[in-house]
Amino acid sequence: MIHNLINKRISLQLYLNTFYFFEMELFSDASYDSSEEEEEEEEEIYCQRELDYWELESLLDSRGPPPIVGYLKKIGVVALRGCIIGKLRTDIDRVVDPSSALCWKSFWSGDTYEDTSHFSYEDWDAIGEFCMQMCDCCVFEPTIEHVRSCMIYVLQLGKFVCPPPRCIVPTMFYDVSR
């Protein structure tokens, strides 16, 4: 019985050695040239978001924003891309003062605006041109709605609206311990 086990063990070892030999023959390829692999460079694939960031960085480096929205130089490209691809907005009244909102509406309708405003027509035009170039970086053939929405997001980042006054309650008239 032990003799049979030893014979089976030797046969198994021979079988495994033979298998290993055939396996090595299958994997060893004399025609394989390792220099071919080194010559072939892998294409680096980037997602659209990364490409958009690079386009925006290039725009900021080459042109820069108009002076009225110069704060955009300090804001990262992630926030700028958010201004472009965010939900379309039309609520200019929430991001600029009422006089500037009326100037905005008359600018887009083609009317003249006689009152004083924080923004002139030239400012709106410069902001619109820059936002159009930003939209070109991230959106294929942007519409005027994209540009207007981007302008509103950009103006919101600048905080052109004064915050509403807070009601300050004097504490000397009220017992704070209650």
Question: Does the pTM of the predicted model rise above 0.75?
Answer: no
For residue 75 the two structure tokens come to: 């804001």
Cα Rg of the chain, angstroms: 34
DSSP letters along 71-140, please? GGGTS-HHHHHHHHHSPP---GGGTS-HHHHHHHHHHHHT----S--SS-HHHHHHHHHHHHHHHHHHSS
Give the residue carrying structure tokens 């980042």.
157
What are the residue ranges spanned by the domains of the chain?
A: 48-158
The model's pLDDT over 4-29, given as tens digits with 9 standing for 90+, comes to 544 555 555 545 454 444 444 545 55
The model's pLDDT over 106-146, given as tens digits with 9 standing for 90+, comes to 999 999 888 888 899 999 999 999 999 999 999 989 999 99
Could you tell me which of 71, 66, 67 has the C-alpha nearest to residue 156?
71
According to DSSP, residue 168 is labeled: P
